[in-house]
Structure 1
Amino acid sequence: KLDSKRADDDAVNGSEDIVDGSEMSEEEGGGTEKDNSQALGEKDELKRQIKLVEADIKKVEEAIEAVEGLLDDATANVRKHPKDKFWRDEVQRLGKREDRLRDKENNLRAKENKLIELLYQIPRES
């Protein structure tokens, strides 16, 4: 049981790392291309960034699902073993992780909305 829990934990931690990594590379790579491009190039760049953010959102959603599953298991174990401090601590730890992931999801959705807004501000070519 603990081995599968660790594997799930690793999956959740791994997906958090992936999200952070793509956010940074997106921001590092976003500026120079945009500076050298016309309106059409800017649109393409914004669309590319929106796709990256959407992929990040999907990863965070998957991580939230994994944490929810772990949280359900830990909660069930608290009911089975009410005096076991490990499971109570585990429920708290997982609850905090879920909160952090939901915050990250909300931040990514805000970023996506801002990018979409920027996309619509670019004048159309005739």
Structure 2
Amino acid sequence: MVTSEELEPYLLRERKIFKKYPQAKSDMTEAKGALIDNPTLGDVYPGLAIEAVRKIRVGIKALKMPPRSALRFYYFYAVEKKKIVYIHLLKKGKPQQENKVIKEVKKALKEIIKELKSKTEDVT
């Protein structure tokens, strides 16, 4: 069974986006459910050397916002652990600074790998 975890920066962004777009909650819940069923659902995130970071686009149906112009969330899938870690969430609209997103994802990825390694060492 696949499990999931949301990092604090992700949760902060999610709260901010849901405050502005409360209609997005059901769409995000639906997307996360689909992801649990198929963790490789998202596109591999370009710009990183590791294929475990993926991106999913989510539309906001109630506002008739298609996936290409609504929400994007980035996640890490640890295949061996069967664990999804939500890293970053954003609302597309303003020109996003791609380097900023990559920097945040890389920082979160380092933390995730460190945590997964420490949990593996604790088991052995």
TM-score by length of 2: 0.30
Higher fraction of helix: 1
TM-score by length of 1: 0.29
Greater relative contact order (CA < 8 Å, ≥ 6 in sequence): 1
Higher fraction of strand: 2
